[in-house]
């Protein structure tokens, strides 16, 4: 069993506080709760629930400013096909009709398009973990032995089944004929291989009195987002909502803030001069490695 170590900093910004080793999930096991944004990956097994194919439901709900980005890494760069956390997960795949980025992760509100070669998909509500999987890329192997790369953009209802994924038709038919309806798959979390920078987009209604922002186009899953109003001396946490926005219901009392994003591998990116205003996009100059 392999593991990686992520360095955590406390909200006071005083530096490293604790070091947590996140264990990998043994190959061929299923996760009952991956919790990739929590302090440890839950190592548990469970049977895949049988259910009939279903369509995922959708939630439907831009402006650039100059930024400065600093980037640090708490772990070595990994090959794009090396699992970032956990290991191989067994599940099933179905298909649903929809647009590439429509869904509970609300990437459509950011006017986002999936990178070439990545297919949109919905993840079981039983594995959702409060939107921790939004934007995560999975390498999915089908019954023919070939694989595709997907990005989680939506949530599949409870009938989808534990660890199961609902693929858009263009992705499903790369693995099997659509008429099959349901197939056995194995998947693991990998880097998206995105070369363009990530960006931040505030939610409709966001302001210095109510702060809501999402991370879009990240190369790896995002674990946390913190905000500083004093040039990085102190960092304040936000709460990740089920619809994939990081929020502070009281706001931060200022029109511009600095944002620190931490990935599941422990790497951080700091974006300066991020607007708190409604529906504002702030581009970073880099992405997670």
pLDDT digits (tens, 9 = 90+) for 146-198: 999 999 999 987 778 888 999 999 999 999 999 999 999 999 999 999 999 99
Q: Is residue 44 part of a domain?
A: no
pLDDT over 80 (residue 229)? yes
Report the C-alpha gap between 240 and 131 in whole angstroms: 7
Mean pLDDT of the chain: 77
Q: What is the pLDDT of residue 100?
A: 78
Q: Is residue 236 part of a domain?
A: yes
Q: Is residue 206 part of a domain?
A: yes
Report the C-alpha gap between 40 and 60 in whole angstroms: 32
Report the C-alpha gap between 86 and 25 in whole angstroms: 4
CATH number of the domain where residue 211 is located: 2.60.40.760
pLDDT over 80 (residue 265)? yes
Q: Is residue 276 part of a domain?
A: yes
Q: Which residue has the higher pLDDT, 276 or 16?
A: 276
pLDDT over 60 (residue 4)? no
Lowest mean pLDDT segment, chosen from 99-103, 119-123, 132-136, 258-262: 99-103
CB atoms under 10 Å from CB of 250, counted, come to: 10
Q: Is residue 259 part of a domain?
A: yes
DSSP string, 5-28: EEEEE-TT--SEEEEEEEEPPPTT
Q: What is the pLDDT of residue 31?
A: 35
Q: Which residue has the higher pLDDT, 6 or 108?
A: 108
CB atoms under 10 Å from CB of 216, counted, come to: 23
Lowest mean pLDDT segment, chosen from 69-83, 90-104, 188-202, 260-274: 69-83
Q: Is residue 170 part of a domain?
A: no
Model confidence pLDDT, tens digit, residues 77-101: 344 444 556 689 999 999 998 887 8
Q: Which pTM value belongs to this model?
A: 0.72
Domain that holds residue 258: 199-283
pLDDT over 50 (residue 49)? no
Q: Is residue 75 part of a domain?
A: no
Please give the tally of structural domains in the chain.
1
Q: What is the pLDDT of residue 84?
A: 56
- Residue 174's SS3 state is coil
Read off the tokens for 32: 């009952």
Q: Is residue 76 part of a domain?
A: no
């Amino acid at each position: 069993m392999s593991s990686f170590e992520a360095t955590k900093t406390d909200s006071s910004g005083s530096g490293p506080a604790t070091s947590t080793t996140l264990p990998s999930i043994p190959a061929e096991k299923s996760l009952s709760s991956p919790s990739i944004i929590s302090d440890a990956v839950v190592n548990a097994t469970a049977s895949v629930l049988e259910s009939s194919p279903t369509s995922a439901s959708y939630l439907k709900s831009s402006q650039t400013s100059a930024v400065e980005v600093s980037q640090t890494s708490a772990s070595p760069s990994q090959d794009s096909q090396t699992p970032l956390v956990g290991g191989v997960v067994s599940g099933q795949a179905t298909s649903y009709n929809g647009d590439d980025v429509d869904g509970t992760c609300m990437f459509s509100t950011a006017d986002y398009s999936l990178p070439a070669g990545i297919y949109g998909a919905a993840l079981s509500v039983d594995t959702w973990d409060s939107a921790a999987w939004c934007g995560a890329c999975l390498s999915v192997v089908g019954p023919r032995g070939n694989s595709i790369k997907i990005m989680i953009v939506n949530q599949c209802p409870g009938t989808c089944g534990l660890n199961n994924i609902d693929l858009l038709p263009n992705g499903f038919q790369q693995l099997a004929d659509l008429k099959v309806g349901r197939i056995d798959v194995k998947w693991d979390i990998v880097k998206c291989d995105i070369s363009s920078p990530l960006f931040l987009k505030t939610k409709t209604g966001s302001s210095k009195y109510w702060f809501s922002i999402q991370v879009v186009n990240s190369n790896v899953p995002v674990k946390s987002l913190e905000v500083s109003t004093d040039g990085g001396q102190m960092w304040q946490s936000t709460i990740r909502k089920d619809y994939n926005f990081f929020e502070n219901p009281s706001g931060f009392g200022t029109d511009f803030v600095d944002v620190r994003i931490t990935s599941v591998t422990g790497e951080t990116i700091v974006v300066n001069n991020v607007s708190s205003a409604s529906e504002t996009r702030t581009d970073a100059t880099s992405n997670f490695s």
